[in-house]
Amino acid sequence: KIQKLYRSLKPQNLLFPLFLAGSIVKSRKILRDEHIDGVVTTGGFVAGPVAIAAISQKVPCFLHESNSFPGLTTKHLAKHLQRTYISFEESRKYLPKANLKNFGIP
Protein backbone atom coordinates (compact mmCIF):
# COMPACT_ATOMS: atom_id res chain seq x y z
CA LYS A 1 0.00 0.00 0.00
CA ILE A 2 1.32 3.44 -0.90
CA GLN A 3 -0.17 6.89 -0.98
CA LYS A 4 0.64 10.16 -2.64
CA LEU A 5 2.98 12.54 -0.82
CA TYR A 6 1.27 15.91 -0.80
CA ARG A 7 3.51 18.93 -1.30
CA SER A 8 1.52 20.97 1.20
CA LEU A 9 1.19 20.18 4.89
CA LYS A 10 -1.58 17.58 5.17
CA PRO A 11 -2.39 15.01 7.87
CA GLN A 12 -2.19 12.22 5.27
CA ASN A 13 1.55 12.84 4.96
CA LEU A 14 2.10 11.56 8.51
CA LEU A 15 1.46 7.98 7.36
CA PHE A 16 3.52 8.28 4.18
CA PRO A 17 6.83 7.01 5.69
CA LEU A 18 5.12 3.90 7.06
CA PHE A 19 3.39 3.10 3.78
CA LEU A 20 6.59 3.75 1.84
CA ALA A 21 8.70 1.49 4.07
CA GLY A 22 6.13 -1.31 3.93
CA SER A 23 5.85 -1.06 0.16
CA ILE A 24 9.63 -1.14 -0.28
CA VAL A 25 9.88 -4.29 1.86
CA LYS A 26 7.12 -6.00 -0.15
CA SER A 27 8.70 -4.91 -3.44
CA ARG A 28 12.12 -6.24 -2.39
CA LYS A 29 10.53 -9.61 -1.58
CA ILE A 30 8.83 -9.81 -4.98
CA LEU A 31 12.02 -8.84 -6.81
CA ARG A 32 13.96 -11.50 -4.89
CA ASP A 33 11.36 -14.29 -5.00
CA GLU A 34 10.56 -13.83 -8.70
CA HIS A 35 14.23 -13.35 -9.72
CA ILE A 36 13.42 -10.12 -11.56
CA ASP A 37 16.21 -9.09 -13.96
CA GLY A 38 15.14 -5.47 -14.50
CA VAL A 39 12.46 -2.89 -13.78
CA VAL A 40 10.91 -0.39 -16.19
CA THR A 41 8.62 2.29 -14.80
CA THR A 42 6.84 5.41 -15.94
CA GLY A 43 7.22 7.26 -12.65
CA GLY A 44 4.55 8.47 -10.30
CA PHE A 45 4.18 7.76 -6.60
CA VAL A 46 3.26 4.10 -7.14
CA ALA A 47 6.59 3.52 -8.92
CA GLY A 48 8.68 4.87 -6.05
CA PRO A 49 8.77 1.81 -3.78
CA VAL A 50 9.50 -0.60 -6.64
CA ALA A 51 12.29 1.60 -8.01
CA ILE A 52 13.82 2.08 -4.55
CA ALA A 53 13.68 -1.68 -3.97
CA ALA A 54 15.33 -2.34 -7.34
CA ILE A 55 18.07 0.22 -6.69
CA SER A 56 18.77 -1.24 -3.23
CA GLN A 57 19.06 -4.76 -4.67
CA LYS A 58 21.20 -3.70 -7.63
CA VAL A 59 18.45 -4.67 -10.09
CA PRO A 60 18.71 -2.50 -13.22
CA CYS A 61 15.95 0.10 -13.20
CA PHE A 62 14.85 2.38 -16.05
CA LEU A 63 12.23 5.11 -16.14
CA HIS A 64 10.34 6.77 -18.99
CA GLU A 65 9.10 10.27 -18.18
CA SER A 66 6.49 11.28 -20.72
CA ASN A 67 5.81 14.71 -19.21
CA SER A 68 7.93 17.77 -19.93
CA PHE A 69 7.93 18.63 -16.21
CA PRO A 70 9.00 15.56 -14.18
CA GLY A 71 7.12 14.73 -11.02
CA LEU A 72 8.49 14.48 -7.49
CA THR A 73 9.21 10.74 -7.69
CA THR A 74 11.09 11.07 -10.97
CA LYS A 75 13.14 14.01 -9.69
CA HIS A 76 14.25 12.06 -6.62
CA LEU A 77 14.93 8.74 -8.34
CA ALA A 78 16.36 9.68 -11.75
CA LYS A 79 19.96 10.19 -10.61
CA HIS A 80 20.01 6.67 -9.12
CA LEU A 81 18.66 4.83 -12.16
CA GLN A 82 20.60 3.18 -14.98
CA ARG A 83 18.86 5.50 -17.42
CA THR A 84 15.90 7.85 -17.55
CA TYR A 85 14.20 8.24 -20.89
CA ILE A 86 12.60 11.61 -21.54
CA SER A 87 10.11 12.74 -24.15
CA PHE A 88 11.02 16.43 -24.26
CA GLU A 89 14.41 18.16 -24.28
CA GLU A 90 13.02 20.69 -21.76
CA SER A 91 13.02 17.91 -19.14
CA ARG A 92 16.83 17.91 -19.00
CA LYS A 93 16.98 21.06 -16.88
CA TYR A 94 14.89 19.38 -14.14
CA LEU A 95 17.04 16.22 -14.03
CA PRO A 96 20.63 17.54 -14.15
CA LYS A 97 22.35 14.53 -12.53
CA ALA A 98 20.43 11.79 -14.33
CA ASN A 99 21.64 9.59 -17.17
CA LEU A 100 19.15 10.84 -19.78
CA LYS A 101 18.21 9.83 -23.30
CA ASN A 102 15.53 11.57 -25.31
CA PHE A 103 13.34 8.68 -26.42
CA GLY A 104 10.25 10.64 -27.36
CA ILE A 105 6.76 9.33 -26.79
CA PRO A 106 6.47 5.73 -28.01
Amino acid at the residue 86: I
pLDDT tens, 3-32? 777 777 888 777 788 889 999 999 999 999
Q: How confident is the model at residue 38 (pLDDT cuts 50, 70, 90)?
A: very high
Per-residue pLDDT at 16? 82
How far, in Å, CA of 5 to CA of 44, rounded?
10
- Does residue 77 surpass a pLDDT of 80? yes
pLDDT digits (tens, 9 = 90+) for 44-70: 888 999 999 999 999 999 999 999 999
Q: How far is CA 83 from CA 21, 47, 55, in A?
A: 24, 15, 12
The pLDDT, as a whole number, for residue 65 is: 94
Q: Which residues contact 49 (CB under 8 A, 6 or more apart)?
A: 2, 20, 23, 24, 26, 27
The pLDDT value given to residue 43: 87
Q: What is the homologous superfamily of the domain 11-102 according to CATH?
A: Glycogen Phosphorylase B; (3.40.50.2000)
